[in-house]
């Protein structure tokens, strides 16, 4: 394996919640500018694994992780790394839209503000660019001062995506970003993901297999904390090598 | 009467009972206000606010007591708010959830229930005697700070706890440090709740008399305090002193002073409720 080829690479990741092992020896390599879908039944560890990439699991007590995660060839579990700086490069969109109880503008500007950017012009430009990228600009451009909480669920989620893009990460992790949304909003988010691929490396956890099939280049199937199969999406959905994968995608369990 | 009529009757009976209960408290307050205002309102004038205490009821004013109260309140706010809020944040955000944390938590809850006179005795010994601050404004403020700290800590914790985990994660996910997350997301979002605790704390501090008497606040202070090390009196003590006098004039004075004290309390509560509503509207999840 040549690690410099991969944007993201996990090597032999084991993760424990206390005594319970949630991830078992997972290794995976993710190419730049692709969309990779993590699928699998609830509790299979796909979200937990996703959160290893920006060290979100650090926030939970009692979690122990072994193995290496490399981003652009750099090991992020080395003790010297600055986690806050690292998270600025790895954006994350969560399952439920979680805008801050601030204005639309301040939500998008937050990432820059914590970096210490004060220049009004830079902030204005970034907010506009990010909202345009997230396909939300036309809907909110006249109400940037309004509370983000007044937006609909779908708009809130696109706002969260805009907020993530404002800090210009190279990777965006998405944890079931459309699961709390109606079909129309879901379609918009999917369209967006498809467009973002040219600029970002996207990893998306999803319960919706049609969604995985529609938007991803590669798919990884997880089951009971193990990575069962990882291949191009077409192969996973038309010609899976493992029986468990076949059973899952044909709806026999999960 | 059939069954459903009986049920409807019970239903209405309870409603009437609940209304009576609701108005009972208000009625008592109304009677009290009427009594106080009818006795004291005519005594209220500029001189009453601006006069020094006196042996002659008609010449006595609340100037020193009012200033003493303001001094005490301002210092208490300056001491107790930062400590209480910081302690609440520490316990909720930084402290590990172990047995020791549990122990601290139970004891803070206990402290909130300790009678205020006990705090007075503690303040007298610790601040007044051991630290040698005497019966000064500083001793009074420190004592009252101890008294209101548990209130502030508990309400800060509750308010901070109510901020959803999801928006903290959003901040961390964008690369915010712990302090950035707390200062720019958690604290503004929980400001309404924290403020409620602060209102309760101020209201409690305004009303306290016993601990201040214990630490030696004076009843008769013929000069206005000018530094935290001065001796002092406060409105509640002034009122307490006046109502114990046999002369009718002092009872009138007491009533007038109570009006001022109530105005203060209502004003504080009003401001705080206004601020709280404004913040809650902005930060509802």
* A115-136 confidence digits (pLDDT tens): 999 999 999 999 999 999 888 9
Model confidence at A3: pLDDT above 50 = no
User: Could you report the per-residue pLDDT of B87-140, keeping only the tens digit for each?
Assistant: 999 988 888 777 888 888 888 888 888 899 999 999 998 998 898 888 888 999
CB contacts, 8 Å: B184 with chain A: 110, 113-114
Per-residue pLDDT for A4 more than 60? no
For the cut 80, the answer to whether the pLDDT of residue B220 exceeds it is no
B-chain residues near A89 (CB < 8 A) = 175
**Of residues A145, A94, A85, A91, the one with CA closest to residue A116:** A85
Tell me how far apart the alpha carbons of residues A137 and B194 are, in angstroms, rounded to a whole number. 35
Residues A94, B170: C-beta atoms closer than 8 Å: yes
Interface residues of B toward A, Cβ cutoff 8 Å, are: 96-97, 164, 166-177, 180, 184-185, 188-189, 282-285
For chain A, domain boundaries: 3-97+165-249
Residue B162 burial (CB count, 10 A): 12
- Model confidence pLDDT, tens digit, residues A51-102: 999 999 888 888 899 999 999 888 888 878 888 888 999 999 999 999 999 9
**Mean pLDDT (whole number) for A171-195:** 89
User: Is B279's pLDDT higher than 80?
Assistant: no
pLDDT value at residue A207: 87
Res B245: pLDDT: 86
CA proximity to A156, closest of A172, A124, A174, A180: A180
A24 contacts chain B (CB < 8 A): no
A88 vs B174: CB contact, 8 Å cut-off? yes
Whole-number pLDDT of residue B285: 53
Highest mean pLDDT among A181-185, A231-235, B5-9: A231-235
Contact flag A84-B171 (C-beta cutoff 8 Å): no
- Summarised one tens digit per residue, pLDDT across range A100-117 is 999 999 999 999 999 999
Q: What is the pLDDT of residue A90?
A: 92
Contact list in A for residue B284 (CB cut-off 8 A) is 101, 149
**From A84, A147, A164, residue closest to B176, measured CB to CB:** A84
Substitution target from B166, B175, B278, B284 for chain A, most A beta carbons within 10 A = B175
Return the pLDDT at A253: 62
Q: Assess A177–B contact: CB distance below 8 Å, yes or no.
A: no
* Rounded distance between C-alpha atoms, residue B223 and residue B232, angstroms: 9
Q: Which residue of B has its CA nearest to A145?
A: B282
pLDDT of residue A201: 94
Cα–Cα distances in angstroms (integers) from residue A56 to residues A47, B71, B169, B182, in the given order: 10, 48, 8, 17
Residue B112: partners with Cβ closer than 8 Å, 6 or more residues away: B150, B151, B154
| Domains identified in chain B and CATH numbers | 66-233 (1.10.3720.10)
**Residue A51 touches chain B, beta carbons under 8 Å:** no
Q: Is A47 on the interface with B (CB under 8 A)?
A: no
In this prediction, residue B280 carries a pLDDT of 66
Contact assessment for residue B200 and residue B147, using Cβ atoms and an 8 Å cutoff: no
Give the tens place of pLDDT for each residue, B258-278: 999 998 888 888 877 887 777
Going by DSSP bridges, is the β-strand pair A74-75/A226-232 parallel, antiparallel, or unpaired?
A: unpaired
What's chain A's average pLDDT? 90
Give me the residues of A, 130-149, that contact B with CB < 8 A.
147, 149
Q: How far is CA A199 from the centre of its chain?
A: 14
Q: What is the pLDDT of residues B40-86, one digit of tens each?
A: 888 888 888 888 888 887 888 888 888 889 999 999 999 999 999 99
Mean pLDDT, rounded, for B222-246: 85
> Helices B137-161 & B187-207, crossing angle to 10 degrees?
140
| Nearest neighbour of B189 by CB, restricted to A101, A115, A163 | A101
**Residue B184, min C-alpha distance to chain A (Å):** 9
Chain A residue numbers touching B167 (CB-CB < 8 A): 98-101
How far off is chain B from A58, nearest CA to CA, in Å?
11
Q: How far is it, in rounded angstroms, from Cα A212 to Cα A15?
A: 25
- Phi, psi (5° rounding) for residue A94? -100, 170
B122 touches B193 (CB < 8 A): no
> Lowest mean pLDDT: which of A209-218, B15-24, B45-54?
B45-54
Residue B60 near residue B257, CB atoms below 8 Å: no
Fold held by A3-97+165-249? Rossmann fold (3.40.50)
- In chain B, the N- to C-terminal Cα span, in Å, equals 49
Answer for the pair B78, B95: CB distance below 8 angstroms, yes or no. Answer: no
Q: Do B170 and A160 touch (CB under 8 A)?
A: yes
**Which of A59, A89, A115 lies at the smallest CB-CB distance from B172?**
A59
| Closest in A59, A98, A167 to B167, CB measured | A98
Question: Residues of A with CB below 8 A from B169's CB?
Answer: 56, 59, 92, 94, 98
pLDDT per position as a tens digit, B161-219: 989 999 999 999 999 999 999 999 999 888 888 888 888 888 888 888 888 888 877 77
Q: What mean pLDDT comes out for the span B2-12?
A: 88
> Least CA distance to A167: which residue of chain B?
B174
Judge: B167–A61 Cβ closer than 8 Å, yes or no.
Answer: no
pLDDT of residue B230: 84
Non-local (6+) Cβ contacts of A38 within 8 A are A46, A47, A49, A50, A203, A204, A205, A206, A219, A220, A222
Contact yes or no for A88 and B175 at CB 8 A: yes
Distance from CA of B188 to the nearest CA of A (A): 9
Is there a contact between A59 and B177 if contact means CB atoms under 8 Å apart? no
């Amino acid at each position: 394996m040549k690690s410099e080829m991969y944007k993201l690479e996990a090597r032999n990741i084991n993760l424990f919640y206390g005594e319970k092992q949630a991830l078992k020896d997972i290794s995976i390599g993710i190419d730049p500018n692709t969309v990779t879908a993590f699928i699998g039944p609830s509790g299979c560890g796909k979200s937990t694994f996703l959160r290893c990439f920006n060290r979100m699991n650090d926030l939970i007590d009692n979690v122990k992780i072994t193995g290496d995660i490399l981003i652009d060839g750099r090991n992020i579990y080395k003790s010297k790394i600055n986690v806050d700086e690292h998270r600025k490069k790895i954006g994350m969109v969560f399952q439920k839209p979680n805008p801050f109880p601030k204005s639309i503008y301040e939500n998008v500007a937050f990432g820059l503000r914590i970096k210490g950017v004060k220049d009004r012009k830079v902030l204005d430009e970034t907010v506009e660019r990010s909202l345009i990228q997230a396909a939300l600009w036309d809907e909110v451009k006249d109400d940037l001062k309004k509370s983000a909480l007044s937006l609909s669920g779908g708009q809130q989620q696109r706002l969260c995506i805009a907020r993530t893009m404002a800090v210009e990460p190279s990777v965006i992790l998405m944890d079931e970003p459309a699961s709390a949304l109606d079909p129309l909003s879901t379609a918009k988010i999917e369209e967006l993901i498809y467009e973002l691929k040219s600029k970002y490396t996207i990893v998306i956890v999803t319960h919706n297999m049609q969604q995985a099939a529609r938007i991803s280049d590669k798919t990884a199937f997880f089951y009971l904390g193990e990575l069962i199969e990882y291949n191009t999406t077409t192969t996973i959905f038309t010609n899976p090598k493992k029986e468990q994968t076949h059973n899952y995608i044909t709806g026999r369990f999960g | 009467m059939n069954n459903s009529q009986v049920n409807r009757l019970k239903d209405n009976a309870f409603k009437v009972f609940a209304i009576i209960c609701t108005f009972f408290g208000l009625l008592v307050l109304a009677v009290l206000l009427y009594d106080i205002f009818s006795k004291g309102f005519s005594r209220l004038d500029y001189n009453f606010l601006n006069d020094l205490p006196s042996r002659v009821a008609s010449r006595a004013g609340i100037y020193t007591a009012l200033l003493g109260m303001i001094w005490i309140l301002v210092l208490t706010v300056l001491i107790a708010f930062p400590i209480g809020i910081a302690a609440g944040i520490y316990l909720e955000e930084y402290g590990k959830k172990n047995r020791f944390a549990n122990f601290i938590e139970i004891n803070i809850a206990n402290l909130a229930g300790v009678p205020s006179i006990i705090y007075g005795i503690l303040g007298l010994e610790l601040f007044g005697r051991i630290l040698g601050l005497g019966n000064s404004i500083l001793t009074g403020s420190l004592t009252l700070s101890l008294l209101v700290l548990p209130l502030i800590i508990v309400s800060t914790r509750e308010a901070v706890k109510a901020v959803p985990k999801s928006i903290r994660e959003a901040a961390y996910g964008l690369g915010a440090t712990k302090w950035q997350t707390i200062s720019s997301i958690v604290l503004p979002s929980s400001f309404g709740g924290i403020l409620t605790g602060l209102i309760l704390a101020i209201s409690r501090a305004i009303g306290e008399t016993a601990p201040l008497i214990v630490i030696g606040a004076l009843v008769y202070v013929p000069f206005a305090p000018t530094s935290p090390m001065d001796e002092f009196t406060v409105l509640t003590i002034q009122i307490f002193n006046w109502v114990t006098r046999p002369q009718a004039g002092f009872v009138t004075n007491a009533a007038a002073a109570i009006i001022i004290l109530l105005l203060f309390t209502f004003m504080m509560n009003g401001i705080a409720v206004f601020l709280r509503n404004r913040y809650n509207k902005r930060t509802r999840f």
